[in-house]
Structure 1
Amino acid sequence: MLIGYFDSVPKDLDEAALVDGCGPLKALIKVVVPAAIPGIVAVAVYAFMTAWGEVLFASVMTNDTTRTLAVGLQGYSTQNDVYWNQIMAASLVVSVPVVAGFLLLQRYLVAGLTAGAVK
């Protein structure tokens, strides 16, 4: 997923770092990776959201003591009754880390979107 973003980082930055005396590894760490932080953050958020919402694997391959929060929400729905008030309260608690992570990483995501639009 990151190949396209790393290809969009100008090669001139890498060449300028090499001319200034950086080795290839130092140029990668000091120049290319900081320029690609918005793409890295976007992929990290995507991977987190995919893992966070993985219900099928967590419900089949885990036991009751190691199940995830999304699978735990299913426990509030029984064959005879659905506890909507508890489901909504637990859903709010489950969504708080995702919203907090988005608010903390929002500036990187916006920078990644605008960096691709400016030539």
Structure 2
Amino acid sequence: MFSFFKKKEKNNRDLFRARLKLVLDEIYNSDDHVQITIGKAIYMADTIFQQTFPTPDDFVNLPHHAKLEYLNQFSTARMNIEEKTGSKLYALGFEIYEMWLGIVSVKDKALFYEFVDDITFFCDIGEEQ
């Protein structure tokens, strides 16, 4: 009976992974403007995160409800940024970072190591601009 829940969790994780990979692959195959805009958003999101949590462990060690509250606030900020800037690309950069925070919050080491280089790559592009 409980194996049903494990299969569902694995399927959700696999879908999450596939979606993030697909989006990142599309961005890698996009022109410089797209990569730079998304990189700026990821860099901005990372800067905001680091102002609140000087180390990732400060976030990871929060109680579950506090992590969810922060992720909800982050999601609201993303929607406000899209509304104010009118840039779907900028909002996408924030959404990617939000997905990244989800990976960090559940301590999924496999996904962390699979995507850390991608997040770093786009964050570095954003910082350079």
State whether TM-score is above 0.5.
Answer: no
Name the one with the larger helix percent. Answer: 2
Normalised to the residue count of structure 1, the TM-score between the two structures is 0.31
Report the structure number with the largest CA radius of gyration. Answer: 1
